[in-house]
Amino acid sequence: MHRRRGPLAGGWFSRLTAQWRTVVWLTVVWVMLWGDLSWGNVLAGVLLASLLITFMPLPSIATSGTARPWPLLVLVGRFVADLVVASFQVSMQAFRLHHTPHGAVVGVRLRNPSDIYMTITSELSSLVPGSLVIEAHRLTGMLYLHVLDLDAAGGADKVRQDTLDLEARVLRAFASNDDLKAAGLYHPRGGTPEPAGATPSGGGPGAAGAPGADGAARRTEPRTDRGEGQR
């Protein structure tokens, strides 16, 4: 049903070897929960993690990204700055006694509907006070964010642009060059960003704004706002 998810590995041993990072991470979590680094806790964590991977496996997520140090540093630094500023703004709402925040739900279509990038963008958006992702459509790439005060956030268009800017930082930090080209975010050295769907020749059926090889053009999701009114 979900074509973007890859098939599971054939046997239990292949599944364990393919997801050994998950086994290590679950073991670390198990030891941290017990608060005691001992051989017994480590072996128990490895055993439980192996049983979870074997009998309750999660479907794999197809991704071909890579981590870029400088864009990753920009992503983290901007997130910390947004976190501090948004925390101060939300805390000030408690001192505005005669002000009633007008909340709303704003729909945003992401450039890349990949599971991993949508999850990262959703989590970072929800961790910043004042906004919360209440619904995500993974097959259409749509996020629906609840905004505490739409006026203070700058309006629906500003919320959409901020979310797309966050997604752009996530893609530049982790996505492959092909994903960046498809999203129109690829910056060749000494050149200008290539538009989404463009070909090196500049013309033909793959040019920007024209249908791709399969004859399907990029769809534009209509803006979706569901105002909640006064609280």
C-alpha distance across the termini of the chain, in Å: 40
CA dist 168 and 183 (Å) reads 9
**Average pLDDT taken over every residue of the chain:** 78
Highest mean pLDDT among 49-63, 79-93, 199-213: 79-93
pLDDT for 115:
86
Residue, of 16 and 207, whose pLDDT is higher: 16
Per-residue pLDDT band at 94 (split at 50, 70, 90): confident
pTM of this prediction exceeds 0.75: no
CA dist 200 and 194 (Å) reads 9
Highest mean pLDDT among 20-29, 143-152, 215-224: 143-152
String of b and e for 15-24 (b: at least 16 CB within 10 Å)? bbeebeebbe
CA dist 101 and 82 (Å) reads 20
Residue 161: its H or E element: helix 156-174
The residue ranges of every structural domain in the chain are 15-55, 69-183
